[in-house]
Amino acid sequence: MNKKRTFQRIAMTIALLGAGTFLFCDLGWGISPLVKFFIVFFGVIVGLQSVPAILLFTGMIKGFFAGRAATVKQVVR
């Protein structure tokens, strides 16, 4: 359980540092801090939601190939 909390804190720190860096930099687009906040907010949401999706997708691919390998071993017997 402690390892999970550590990873959560590291992920949150990285997200906050990335958002803070983006909010303080001048992009030259002439956008307001509120618009920058919403861009960062939605970017963080999309980024955090893609991590579980990528993990699920890789698990599905591993399961697919593991199932194929088991089928090939049964046929060879």
Per the structure, the count of domains in the chain is: 1
Model-level pTM? 0.45
31-73: pLDDT as tens digits: 777 887 787 788 778 878 888 888 888 888 888 888 766 665 6
Three-class secondary structure assignment of the chain: CHHHHHHHHHHHHHHHHHHHHHHHCCCCCCCCHHHHHHHHHHHHHHHHHHHHHHHHHHHHHHHHHHHHHHHHHHHHC
- The whole-chain average pLDDT of the chain stands at 76
Name the residue range of residue 35's domain.
Answer: 2-76
